[in-house]
Amino acid sequence: MIKFFLMVNKQGQTRLSRYYEHVEIHKRTMLEAEVIKNCLSRSKDQCSFIEYKDFKLVYRQYAALFVVVGVNETENEMAVYELIHNFVEVLDKYFSRVVSETLNLLQNISSLSKL
């Protein structure tokens, strides 16, 4: 099961986040900082799967953008890795290029849907 979905730039700024379980705002901030630090500090030669606390992180880098998905321990990492790729392909086709401005637009649409 997916616990959260993050899109982060190389500077470590969260561009889009979506949580599928309730997490307090303060804990989200701490969680995102730790997750970002763990993923951005890894080299391209290292595996894109990390065991972190009571879940797994699956991440993929696209140019200056990192897509990170937190899943429970029973989830198939390769399936999530492919899900990330398919998601980015859809964004690329729909918006022609996945860039920070597009992510700002998605974040605004996401916050409007919560109203």
DSSP letters for 49-95: EEEETTEEEEEEEETTEEEEEEE-TTS-HHHHHHHHHHHHHHHHHHH
What is the model's pLDDT at position 93? 78
Predicted local confidence at residue 115, as pLDDT:
46
Average pLDDT over every residue of 7-22: 91
Q: How far is CA 80 from the centre of its chain?
A: 11
pLDDT at 101: 60
What architecture is domain 2-104? 2-Layer Sandwich (3.30)
| CA–CA separation, 115 and 111 (whole Å) | 7
pLDDT of residue 106: 63
Mean of per-residue pLDDT scores for the chain: 85
Q: Which residues contact 2 (CB under 8 A, 6 or more apart)?
A: 20, 69, 70, 71, 75, 80
pLDDT of 34 higher than 90: yes
Element spanning 9, H or E: strand 2-9
| Model pLDDT for residues 44-99, shown as the tens digit of each residue | 889 999 998 889 999 999 888 899 999 999 999 999 999 999 988 888 777 765 55
For 48, residues 6+ apart whose C-beta sits below 8 A from its C-beta are: 58, 59, 60, 81
pLDDT at residue 26, as a whole number: 92
Residue 108 has a pLDDT of 61
Which of the two residues, 104 and 61, has the higher pLDDT score? Answer: 61
The answer to whether residue 38 scores a pLDDT higher than 50 is: yes
